[in-house]
């Protein structure tokens, strides 16, 4: 087992750059010939047997040109793009300090989508789309096909669309499910790398991977890159930990009770212990603030986002990881009024008073600088003014409240309602 873990962990950093495209697509090509179809069938049969997910119905391949695939992906992207939703996401990421104001998120996602022409399994049409412009399946082609065929088999056994619908609007739950599926497929791909390829093919694969270029991804904001890579990297570690304890039967059983948060993916022991996120409520902030305040977004940030929020102004380290590892649950709301003023409220609950204090302290000790001026400096309350915004932080037991508001009166009104 240790040998397998070592091999798979060595494989994962090699394969991740290939997998990093918007919509979690893959990069491979083949010639529409009987010979290559037989090669694909061989990979499919290997994965079905060794992943222990038998093919229940024939998986259909549709061979299309590179341009046809590009047009298909472009159409899908534009159909799913919501300009208003994207604008709200951008405002939220700016308030969290995760991106710069001048970033064009739409163009970034569009460019990421174009950076690699990809083939993929579509759970809606139940087809595997394969590029038909080139002559031979490279080793990289075979590897990525092993990944995507796992998704097709997952779909036949567990219904991907139904799984994703379990999460509703819960982004933490949704990422838990996606990380399970992508981690499962990445691990199956890793076993294919180690067991089905010979030494020469592995060397070729490493060389092909090293030669790949991804400048758009490489220059994207850290939160974008880490969000894209998370389901593959942390997801594969999560699935591997379950596999080590009970093999593929144990992995298959997870689909009956998928992870409820990114925290459970990051800390598999919390999943096995049934340590689900704490439900944290917020008052009706629109009614509380009155006027024209309108709630634009709400949900949970989770351990992952809070960690990256810290690392936007603190060098990533073991300290930032430990400071957010005690996350228990949170709820956030983002509001805007007719004047363009904005309020962000994040109410988090931690596993213990010590965990809450650790997060509070690392935030407070590192937030102030030449542009962030103290507005409040107390034992349990901290506040800073930066430009035309107030940032307010308060701790009470295992609760931590973070507010970004246009003025102190708004922050005080919200704080008094949540932590009186």
pLDDT digit string (tens) for 30-67? 333 446 788 889 999 999 999 999 999 999 988 888 78
CA distance 51 to 225: 29
Q: Which domain holds residue 291?
A: 285-418
pLDDT mean by block of 10 residues, the chain; 420 residues: 45 46 33 64 95 96 81 80 87 93 89 72 88 70 88 97 94 97 95 87 84 88 94 97 96 98 97 97 97 96 97 94 97 97 98 98 85 79 90 97 95 95
Of the residues 272, 293, 328, the one at which a domain ends = 272
300 and 267 in a common domain: no
Query: What's the structural domain count of the chain?
Result: 2
294 and 191 in a common domain: no
Of the residues 272, 293, 323, the one at which a domain ends = 272
Q: Look at residue 118 and tell me if it is in a domain.
A: yes
What share of the chain has pLDDT > 90, as a percent?
64
297 and 243 in a common domain: no
pTM of full prediction above 0.95: no
Of the residues 212, 238, 272, the one at which a domain ends = 272
Q: Look at residue 268 and tell me if it is in a domain.
A: yes
Q: Look at residue 279 and tell me if it is in a domain.
A: no
């Amino acid at each position: 087992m240790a040998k397998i873990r070592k091999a798979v962990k060595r494989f994962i950093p090699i394969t991740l750059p290939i997998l990093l495209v918007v919509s979690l697509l893959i990069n491979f090509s083949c010639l529409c010939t009987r010979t290559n179809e037989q090669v694909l069938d061989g990979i499919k049969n290997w994965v079905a047997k060794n992943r222990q997910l038998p093919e229940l119905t024939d998986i259909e391949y549709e061979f299309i040109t590179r341009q046809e695939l590009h047009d298909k992906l472009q159409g899908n992207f534009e159909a799913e793009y919501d300009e208003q939703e994207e604008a709200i996401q951008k405002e939220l990421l700016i308030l969290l300090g995760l991106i710069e104001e001048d970033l064009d998120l739409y163009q970034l996602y569009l460019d990421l989508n174009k950076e690699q022409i990809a083939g993929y399994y579509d759970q809606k049409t139940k087809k595997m789309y394969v590029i038909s412009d080139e002559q031979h399946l490279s080793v990289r082609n075979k590897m990525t096909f092993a990944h995507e065929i796992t998704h097709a088999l997952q779909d036949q056994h567990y219904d991907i669309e139904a799984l994703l619908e379990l999460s509703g609007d819960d982004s933490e739950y949704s990422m838990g499910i996606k990380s399970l599926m992508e981690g499962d497929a990445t691990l199956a791909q890793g076993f294919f790398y180690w067991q089905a390829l010979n030494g020469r093919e592995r060397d070729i694969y490493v060389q092909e991977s090293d030669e790949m270029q991804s400048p758009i991804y490489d220059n994207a904001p850290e939160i974008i890159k880490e969000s894209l890579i998370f389901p593959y990297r942390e997801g594969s570690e999560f699935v591997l930990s379950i596999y080590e304890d009970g093999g593929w039967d144990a992995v298959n059983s997870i689909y009956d009770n998928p992870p409820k948060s990114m925290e459970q993916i990051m800390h598999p022991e919390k999943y096995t212990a049934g340590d689900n996120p704490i439900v944290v409520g917020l008052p009706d902030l629109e009614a509380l603030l009155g006027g024209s305040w309108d709630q634009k977004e709400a949900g949970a940030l989770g351990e992952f986002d809070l960690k990256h929020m810290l690392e936007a102004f603190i060098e990533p380290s073991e300290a930032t990881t430990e400071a957010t590892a005690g996350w228990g649950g949170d709820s956030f709301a983002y509001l805007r009024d007719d004047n363009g003023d904005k309020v962000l409220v994040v109410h988090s609950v931690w596993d213990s008073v010590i965990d809450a204090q650790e997060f509070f302290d690392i935030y407070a000790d590192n937030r102030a600088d030449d542009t962030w001026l103290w507005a409040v400096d107390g034992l349990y309350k901290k506040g800073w003014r930066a430009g035309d915004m107030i940032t307010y932080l308060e701790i009470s037991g295992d609760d931590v409240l973070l507010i970004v508001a246009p003025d102190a009166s708004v922050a005080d009104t919200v704080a008094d309602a949540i932590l009186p």
